[in-house]
Amino acid sequence: MENLSVIKTPSAMHVENRMATLFVDSEGVLVSNVKKEYVSLEEMDENYVHLKSITKGTSVCGIIESQYISSFNKDYILYIEREYSKIYKALAIVAPSGWMRLKSKYTLRFAKSKFPIKLFANSAQAKAWLKEYL
């Protein structure tokens, strides 16, 4: 668990790791701001440990925000299918550009997740969709 920084505030817990900044927002949504384009399986494992520590075994709604979301590869998709189903009850992915959403949609069509995953242009749209799962 190196490179970990935890800041507790009245409304949320923030965790910094090599892959992302994680926090629970005021509406109870777990937000992951991915910091880098290429993520190793080791970094995904580290991030997963931090996700589990934040959620404490409770299924949550989540948002993944990243300018790099289009670089999801097969390993990442398989990881989402296998491990993230233990954390998320719904997952919104925010991809700011139309091109990124198109590439992400193509990649995610191969995912066979046990929870709904949907792409959005911005966080406001993502949060509106997640409200039906909160």
Q: How many structural domains comprise the chain? A: 1
φ and ψ at 128, to 5 degrees?
A: -60, -45
Tokens 């589990």 label which residue? 52
Report residue 59: phi and psi, to 5°.
-70, 135
> What CATH number has the domain bearing residue 58?
3.30.750
pLDDT value at position 9?
Answer: 42
Q: What is the mean pLDDT of the chain?
A: 79
Structural domain that includes position 29? 5-130
pLDDT in tens, 97-121: 776 667 667 666 666 778 898 889 8
Q: What is the pLDDT of residues 62-83, one digit of tens each?
A: 998 877 655 566 777 788 778 8
Quote the tokens at residue 13.
Answer: 């817990």
**CA dist., res. 103 & res. 119, Å (int):** 11
pTM of the predicted structure, to 2 decimals: 0.78
